[in-house]
Structure 1
Amino acid sequence: MTSRFPQRLRRSGLMATTALLAALLGGCATTDNAISDAQKLLAEGEARKLKPAENLNEYALALRRFGQMLRVYKQGDPVIYIQTRDIRDATNLSNPLVGAEIPGEITEMVRTAVNRIGANVVYVPFYPDYLVAQAQLGARFGVTMPNYLITGAVTEFDRALSGAGRANSLSLDFGKGRGQTDFGIDVKRAAILSSLALDLNLVDFSTNQMLPRMQAANAVKVFNLSSEDNASLGFYGDSFGFKLEGKYLQGRHSAIRTLVDLSVLELLGKATNTPYWRCIPGGKPDPVVVENMREAFEGMTPDMKVRMVQVMLQKYGQPVAVSGRFDATTQQAIRAVYGTHFADLGNTVDVLSWEGFEPLFFSVPMPWDARSTSVEAAQAAGAAPAKEAV
Structure 2
Amino acid sequence: MKTTTKKKTLRWGAMALALAALAGCATTENALKDANTLLQEREADKLLPVTNLSPYSLALGRFGRMLDVYKEGDPVIYMQTRSILDATNLSSPLVGAEIPGDITEMVRTAVNRIGARVVYVPYHPDYLVSQAQLGAKFGVTMPDFLITGALTEFDRAIAGAGRVNSAGIEFGKGNGKTTLGGDVKRTAIYSALALDLNLVSFSTQQMVPQVQASNVVKVLNFSSEDNASLGFYGDAFGFKLEGKYLQGRHSAIRTLVDLSVLELVGKATNTPYWRCIPNGTPDPVVIENMRAAYNGLTPELKLGLVQVTLRKYGEPVQVTQQYDDQTRQALEKVYAQRFASLGAVDVMTWQGFEPLFFGVPMSWDTAQAQIPGAAPAGAAAPAGAKAGT
> Shared topology, TM-score over 0.5?
yes
Please name the residue that 1:215 is paired with.
Answer: 212
Does the residue aligned with 1:322 lie in a helix, a strand or coil? coil
CA change 1:95–1:322 in 2 (3 A) is same
Please name the residue that 1:334 is paired with.
Answer: 331
- 2:364 pairs with 363, 368, 374, which one? 368
Distance in 2 of aligned mates of 1:332 and 1:236: 95
Letter aligned with residue 284 of structure 2? P
1:200·1:267 contact (CA, 8 Å) conserved in 2?
yes
Distance in 1 of aligned mates of 2:41 and 2:184: 35
Return 5+ residue gaps in structure 2 as ranges.
Answer: 1-39, 369-389
Does residue 349 (structure 1) correspond to residue 345 (structure 2)? The answer is: yes
Deviation at 1:191, TM superposition (A): 1.3
Please name the residue that 1:151 is paired with.
Answer: 148
Please name the residue that 2:44 is paired with.
Answer: 49
Residue by residue over 1:47-73, the C-alpha shift from the partner in whole angstroms, topping out at 9 and shown as x without a partner, is: 952233222122111111111111111
Please name the residue that 2:130 is paired with.
Answer: 133
Does the residue aligned with 2:328 lie in a helix, a strand or coil? helix
Report the TM-score, using the length of structure 2 for normalisation.
Answer: 0.79
2:78·2:119 contact (CA, 8 Å) conserved in 1?
yes
2:175·2:234 contact (CA, 8 Å) conserved in 1?
no
- 1:109 pairs with 102, 106, 109, which one? 106
Does residue 205 (structure 1) correspond to residue 206 (structure 2)? The answer is: no
Distance in 2 of aligned mates of 1:54 and 1:357: 41
2:148·2:200 contact (CA, 8 Å) conserved in 1?
yes
Distance in 1 of aligned mates of 2:174 and 2:93: 61
Worse-matched range after superposition: 190-199 or 233-242: 233-242
Letter aligned with residue 53 of structure 1? V
Letter aligned with residue 277 of structure 1? W
Please name the residue that 1:166 is paired with.
Answer: 163
Please name the residue that 2:284 is paired with.
Answer: 287
Please name the residue that 1:118 is paired with.
Answer: 115
Residue by residue over 1:98-119, the C-alpha shift from the partner in whole angstroms, topping out at 9 and shown as x without a partner, is: 2221111111010000001011
1:365·1:371 contact (CA, 8 Å) conserved in 2?
no
1:294·1:354 contact (CA, 8 Å) conserved in 2?
yes
Please name the residue that 1:13 is paired with.
Answer: none
Provide runs of 4+ in structure 1 moved above 3 Å: 45-48, 170-185, 231-242
Distance in 2 of aligned mates of 1:355 and 1:232: 71
Distance in 1 of aligned mates of 2:208 and 2:312: 29
Deviation at 1:253, TM superposition (A): 1.4
Deviation at 1:237, TM superposition (A): 7.6
Please name the residue that 1:18 is paired with.
Answer: none
Report the TM-score, using the length of structure 1 for normalisation.
Answer: 0.78
Does the residue aligned with 2:241 lie in a helix, a strand or coil? strand
CA change 1:290–1:216 in 2 (3 A) is same
User: For the aligned residues, what is the CA RMSD?
Assistant: 2.5
2:66·2:362 contact (CA, 8 Å) conserved in 1?
yes
1:58·1:280 contact (CA, 8 Å) conserved in 2?
no
1:203·1:211 contact (CA, 8 Å) conserved in 2?
yes
Deviation at 1:169, TM superposition (A): 2.6
Please name the residue that 2:74 is paired with.
Answer: 77
Does the residue aligned with 2:197 lie in a helix, a strand or coil? strand
The number of aligned residues is 329
Percent of aligned pairs with the same residue?
Answer: 72
Does the residue aligned with 1:158 lie in a helix, a strand or coil? strand
Residue by residue over 1:140-185, the C-alpha shift from the partner in whole angstroms, topping out at 9 and shown as x without a partner, is: 1111111100011111111222222111234456899999986544
Worse-matched range after superposition: 239-248 or 79-88: 239-248
Does the residue aligned with 1:49 lie in a helix, a strand or coil? helix
Does the residue aligned with 2:111 lie in a helix, a strand or coil? helix
Does residue 311 (structure 1) correspond to residue 308 (structure 2)? The answer is: yes
Deviation at 1:266, TM superposition (A): 0.5
Return 5+ residue gaps in structure 1 as ranges.
Answer: 1-44, 373-390
CA change 1:167–1:303 in 2 (3 A) is same
Does the residue aligned with 1:141 lie in a helix, a strand or coil? coil
1:148·1:203 contact (CA, 8 Å) conserved in 2?
yes
Distance in 2 of aligned mates of 1:48 and 1:139: 45
Distance in 1 of aligned mates of 2:43 and 2:126: 44
Does residue 99 (structure 1) correspond to residue 75 (structure 2)? The answer is: no
Worse-matched range after superposition: 213-222 or 230-239: 230-239
Distance in 1 of aligned mates of 2:194 and 2:137: 41
Distance in 2 of aligned mates of 1:124 and 1:152: 17
Distance in 2 of aligned mates of 1:178 and 1:316: 88
Does the residue aligned with 1:122 lie in a helix, a strand or coil? strand
Letter aligned with residue 346 of structure 2? D
Distance in 1 of aligned mates of 2:367 and 2:304: 23
Please name the residue that 1:190 is paired with.
Answer: 187
CA change 1:235–1:96 in 2 (3 A) is closer
Worse-matched range after superposition: 98-107 or 286-295: 98-107
Distance in 2 of aligned mates of 1:58 and 1:359: 28
2:54·2:251 contact (CA, 8 Å) conserved in 1?
no
Residue by residue over 1:261-281, the C-alpha shift from the partner in whole angstroms, topping out at 9 and shown as x without a partner, is: 111001000000000011111
1:59·1:262 contact (CA, 8 Å) conserved in 2?
yes
Does the residue aligned with 1:259 lie in a helix, a strand or coil? helix
Larger Rg over CA atoms: 1
Letter aligned with residue 59 of structure 2? A
Please name the residue that 1:5 is paired with.
Answer: none
CA change 1:170–1:144 in 2 (3 A) is same
